């Protein structure tokens, strides 16, 4: 274990033997850090407000603040909740991530292989899946769900309780107040899908036939002459069955905030 002598470590912390922690870091309260994780200087992890669990092979950069209290006026200081971060993540400079609230399930969660760039913010009770990228200064309100392989662009904002679909690409500066469809490129204020994320799907290994299949489904959903119910019925009738189409239909039918359609 390599811990700089200026680091303040809670007696309740559990740190794997090969973790590296740089100068002037503070680990407060119940903090667990897994093997081969590197924490750079001036990082604060944990607080009196909840437990923070961090997996293996993470890289946490200068000035990040992880596990602080929710920015929620209804939050009570006596509540004790959690933040769970997976493995193989990179957390950039001055990223802020808060613990959950009891009304939101009690846990803020980050998956594996995520890249959270400088100044990104993840609020209480967010659920971030695997292989997600938040570009510099991306901001997620409370209770936001970001599905796997989604990218949220620089300075983009997702307001509370909304969802960002799998393999979607949210453009720089976009602002979302509804659920954002999987497999799409999204932009604007308020943000709406503009097209299928062709490049992202190709890079992810989807073949040309499935990309066309997804494109057909997205085009139906973006036809404002169709209701959502009519669009989903036509997708079931006209598109080839596949895991991606099944996921898209489930996403749309599970929307509580409404789908951004343009």
Secondary structure of residue 191 in the 3-state scheme = strand
Closest to 91 (Cα-Cα) out of 70, 121, 46, 71: 121
Question: Helix, strand, coil shares of the chain as percentages rounded to 5?
Answer: 15, 30, 50
Distance CA 98, CA 94 (A): 13
Contact 79, 101 (CB under 8 A): yes
Question: Crossing angle for the helix pair 228-238 and 243-253, nearest 10 degrees?
Answer: 170
Q: Among 141, 142, 153, 200, which one carries the catalytic annotation?
A: 142
Q: Among 119, 124, 131, 143, which one carries the catalytic annotation?
A: 124
Contact 186, 176 (CB under 8 A): yes
142 is catalytic: yes
88 is catalytic: no
125 is catalytic: yes
Residues in the chain: 262
Q: Among 22, 100, 119, 125, which one carries the catalytic annotation?
A: 125
Annotated catalytic residues are 124-125, 142
């Amino acid at each position: 274990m390599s811990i700089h002598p200026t680091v303040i470590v809670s007696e309740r912390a559990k740190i794997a033997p090969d973790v590296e922690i740089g100068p002037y870091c503070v680990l407060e309260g119940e903090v667990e850090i897994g093997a081969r994780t590197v924490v750079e200087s001036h990082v604060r992890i944990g607080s009196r407000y909840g437990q923070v669990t961090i997996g293996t092979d993470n890289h946490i950069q200068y000035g990040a603040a992880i596990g602080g209290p929710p920015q929620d006026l209804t939050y009570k200081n006596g509540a004790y909740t959690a933040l769970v971060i997976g493995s193989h993540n990179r957390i950039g400079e001055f990223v802020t991530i808060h613990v959950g609230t009891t009304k939101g399930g009690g846990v803020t969660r980050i998956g594996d292989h995520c890249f959270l760039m400088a100044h990104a913010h993840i609020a209480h009770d967010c659920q971030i899946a695997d292989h997600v990228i938040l570009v510099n200064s991306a901001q997620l309100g409370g209770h936001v769900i970001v599905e796997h392989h989604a990218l949220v662009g620089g300075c983009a904002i997702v307001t509370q309780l909304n969802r960002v679909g799998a393999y979607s690409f949210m453009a720089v500066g976009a602002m979302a107040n509804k659920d954002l469809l999987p497999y799409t490129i999204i932009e604007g204020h308020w943000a709406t899908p503009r097209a299928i994320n062709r490049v992202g799907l190709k890079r992810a290994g989807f073949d040309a036939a499935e990309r066309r299949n997804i494109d057909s489904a997205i085009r139906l959903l973006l036809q404002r002459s169709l209701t959502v119910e009519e669009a989903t019925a036509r997708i079931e009738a006209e598109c080839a069955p596949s895991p991606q189409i099944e996921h898209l239909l489930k996403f749309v039918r599970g929307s509580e905030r409404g789908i951004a359609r343009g």
